[in-house]
Amino acid sequence: MTAVTTYFSDVFKGLWTAMVGMSITLRYLFSKPVTEMYPDVKPKTPTRYRGIHVFEEEKCIGCYVCAKACPVDCIEIGVVRKGKEIKITKFDIDYQKCMFCDLCCEPCPAHCIHMGPEFEKASFTRRGTILQFATPKTLTEEEKKIEKIAKK
Amino acid sequence: MNELANFLPTVLSRSGLTVPSALIPVLAMFLCASIMAAFMGLSAAVLVWAERKLAGHFQCRLGPVYVGGKFGWLQSIADGIKLLLKEDIIPDQADRPLFRLAPYPVVIGVLLAFIAVPFSEKLMVTDFNIGVFFILAVLTVEVFGVILAGWASNNKWALLGAMRAAVQMVSYEIPMGLAILPVVVMAQSLSLKTIVAAQSGGALHWFVFQPPFFMAVSFLIFFIAGLASLKRAPFDLPEAESELTAGFHTEYSGMRFSFFFMAEYAGMLLVSAVASALYLGGWHGILPGQESVWWFLAKTGFLIFVMIWIRWTLPRLRIDQIVYVGWKVLTPFVLACVVGQSLWATLR
Amino acid sequence: MNSPGVTIDRDVKTDELVINMGPQHPSTHGVLRVILKTDGEICLDAQPEIGYLHRCAEKIAENLVYGQFVPYTDRMDYVSGMGCNLGYCLAVEQIAGIQAPLRAEYLRIIVTELNRIASHLLAFGTYGIDTGAITPFLYGFREREMILDLLEMLCGARLTYSYIRIGGVDGDVPPGFIDKLREFIDIFPGKIREYNKLLTFNHIFMKRTTGIGVLSPETAIAYGVTGPNLRGSGVRRDVRRDEPYSVYPKLEFDVPVGTTQHGGPLGDAWNRYYIRMKELEESTKILKQCVEQMPQGPIMAEKVGRVKPPAKTEGYMRSENARGELGFYVVSDGTMQPVRVKVRAPSFSNISVLPEIVRGQMLADVVAIIGSLDIVLGEIDR
């Protein structure tokens, strides 16, 4: 191609491809938006969604396996063991550290900890990001002595 | 404006006010200026909303939806209030007087140019006999503000943006000015009112559809050069976000920033208005005999839509390509148009 | 005027302008800092400064058992986390002598290829933004969203998957997944054509990107550049084809390389970008074959339990991530924790070639070149 034909083909191509692109964007101008109205309409999370944990206290045997499996050590468990009776006094997960990797749920022998569908747990304080899953209990003096708090 | 000056005494006397007759023209001027400024501000607000909304839909999004009902009508008002309330930061090392001064030429340039825009046969501030020339001349004031802003910010990105603006302005003033010449040759006048009046009688009499289509090409060139002089995409190099963070207004915040912002949108309106007056028959409708300010606004609105459409489609040019397009593509083409149109006008 | 004996100090001189680009700059793709020496708009030198996202991932690996490090690999190349999962798991499986079942291998390839598409779509979109076109980014994200929805269905996370585990994968496909995947495979080629029309062959875009940042094959190999950047220079090298791992030997796909038929030289920014667009098609092809060939069966190797490779074993496994050759070097001392994990990150080598290819280009090209290298800072700094 000579310089002249290159020049004119450049001018033509510049205009033509711009028009091709503009036809595409114009088509989408009249198409339905794909966005979700997030805070108004909550998205439906799939069943396997890895959100804030769901903890079933009655099933928990206080074995610390989940806390050990956690790569970032964000689970803190307190247990009072009296013979066969098990009281979970503390089950805190620090969501500043948690990376929602699902590794705590897999080894649980009692299947008491799962990843849940919730994901909105922002907080204005650091304290607020540590969620306490165990129901609060008043402990007797004797129980306080044998309470074991483990963090990995 | 003269009509307003003639009309004012009757209004004033009816309402029982007595004003010295010498003050009447001053009052009329003041009224006109306020109306134009209000119009510019309002149209900038509407255009910002329209741009955001259209950009959203071009991109399969919704754009603003919350402020002011379903369509987010009041989004730009909310933005304006936010900008007003923001702290006006002046960098420590900036040249303070120049930094403060810079936004004003930008706004004044665009605002002044509105004087000569003919909205309809009656509705215009004043009909200069050199209206086209005046608009082109006044629009150049804007670039002083941009260069001042870039220089005074004492920021390397801002400086680069300002230099780019200067280069771009120099390159595109020429094709933009030349693109008007075929119209002037055809209408035998520099007055915008006369130019529009020469296009009466339906869409086929609009200059853009006049054979031998030299004016159609020059319309395209005027529009492209107009985009470049407004620093709109794909010629938004002076404020290229991905390269220069925000270009010449990197350091501006609050109200001063909003002046630049407003000037851009008012400039869009201005270039579209001038283009529709020069080439698209101004206030004349598609059918012969239709005359209304709404036709003018509709054509202007369509051109603004095209500007927004282009911005949300095309990638940005590079600075050497900008200069190339300005000097080696637009200028030769527009020169050919001028010569062709002149020959056509003489030989016919 | 110029009397003898009087020297004149000229106070007008030109100087290089040193510009600090980043770490907070819209188009350095994260927290990259580039120190530019420019002469007006011409860039004389560029020195990338890295380390703003360093998180000691390799050191952390030494204090965790093998399986616990998988979530950390997501956070290296956070745009294609599946590829990092796969690379690490393959490396550990190699030294521990674990063989994942066939279905798991197919699932791994499906998710990594999906993730490769997602990653290339991000590269496509951000490259559009780098050159000033914002809309392609949103279109790219629209399709990326479909992939993320698919992956979310499969593993519950949208970005940090940790789906691929040592010895297999986290879970089998949920109901409806394969149908949605088929639907995606059907509509996606049309979308690629649309991207090409909108951006790839746009004349302004081509003029902006052809002929800039030309990376010769020799330089590319000398700097260890891999992935689409190397293939853009015309070197047909792809770990998936040259040293096939997993089930890649059973799959048919092309390895696209740079071309000169669209006007630019080999190894320019446009070619690097175009390879990614071509790879979108190839990955779709791979996905199609995987969906057809995937057998039934278990998804986790038996008795993986606690991974404990024999003492004094070490292994290096390389895999083709979206950005290039991702290598994991794992040393074991017979305990449950690795002694050393070294990551060979493709983006690290890719960014190191930057000073070579930006010299003499315009300032706007620097942005376009960084964009065409498609770096992820999480992977460079680790």
What domains sit in chain A, N to C, each tagged with a CATH number?
Answer: 53-150 (3.30.70.3270)
Please tell me the predicted confidence (pLDDT) of residue C1: 46
Structure tokens at A8: 């004119």
Label residues B263-299 b or e (16+ Cβ within 10 Å = b).
Answer: bbbbbbbbbbbbbbbbbbbbbbbeeeeebebebbbeb
* CA A38-A41-A44 angle, 5° bins: 90
Residue type, B343: L
Of residues A11, A29, A32, nearest to B58 (C-beta): A29
- Residue range C141-165: average pLDDT? 87
Q: How many CB atoms lie under 10 A from the CB of residue C261?
A: 5
Give the pLDDT confidence of C217-255 residue by residue, as tens digits: 888 889 888 888 888 888 888 888 888 888 888 888 888
Model pTM? 0.86
pLDDT for B9 equals: 63
Mean pLDDT of the A56-76 span: 83
pLDDT in tens, chain B (348 residues): 556 666 666 666 666 666 666 777 777 778 777 887 787 778 888 888 888 888 888 888 888 888 877 787 888 888 888 888 888 888 888 888 888 888 888 888 888 888 777 777 666 767 777 878 888 888 888 888 888 888 888 888 888 888 888 888 888 888 888 888 888 888 888 888 878 877 777 777 777 777 777 778 888 888 888 888 888 878 888 777 777 777 788 888 888 888 888 888 888 888 888 888 888 877 777 777 677 778 888 888 888 888 888 888 888 888 888 888 888 888 888 888 888 888 888 887
Q: CA–CA separation, C92 vs C315, rounded Å?
A: 8
List all chains that touch chain C, counting a touch as 3 or more CB pairs closer than 8 Å.
Answer: A, B
Q: Is the peptide bond before B212 cis (omega within 30 degrees of 0)?
A: yes
From chain B, pick out residues whose CB is under 8 angstroms from the CB of C26: 241-242, 245
- What number is the ipTM of this complex? 0.81
CB-based contact B315 C133, cutoff 8 Å? yes
More confident residue, B134 or A139: B134
Size of interface B-C (CB pairs under 8 A): 77
Mutate to test the interface with A, among B52, B59, B311 (most CBs of A within 10 A): B59
Q: What is the mean pLDDT of residues A100-127?
A: 84
* C40 chain-B contacts, CB cut-off 8 A: 163
Average pLDDT over residues C274-290: 89
Q: What is the pLDDT of residue B16?
A: 63
Q: Considering only residues 252 to 311 of chain B, which have any Cβ-Cβ distance to chain A shorter than 8 Å?
A: 309-310
Q: What burial class does residue B22 get, using C-beta atoms within 10 Å of its C-beta: 0-12 exposed, 13-18 middle, 19+ buried?
A: exposed
Q: Is the pLDDT of residue C3 over 70?
A: no
Question: Using the beta-carbon criterion (under 8 Å), do B319 and C26 form an inter-chain contact?
Answer: no
Asked if C71 is an interface residue toward chain A (Cβ–Cβ < 8 A), one would say yes
pLDDT for B286: 74
* Cβ contact B228:B316 at 8 Å: no
Residues B19/B27, Cβ–Cβ less than 8 Å: yes
Contact across the interface for C153 and A24, Cβ inside 8 Å: no
Q: What is the mean pLDDT of residues C46-54?
A: 86
| C315 backbone dihedrals φ, ψ, rounded to 5° | -150, 145
Quick one: closest CA in A to B311, which residue? A22
The C-alpha angle with vertex B38 and arms to B37 and B39, in degrees rounded to 5, equals: 90
Q: Is B146 helix (H, G, I), strand (E, B) or coil?
A: helix
Q: What angle do CA C270, C271, C272 make, to 5 degrees?
A: 90
At C161 the pLDDT is: 86
Tokens 């800092």, located at residue? C33
pLDDT (average), residues C158-180? 85
pLDDT at C214 over 80: yes
Q: Helix B103-113 to helix B254-278 angle, to the nearest 10 degrees?
A: 30
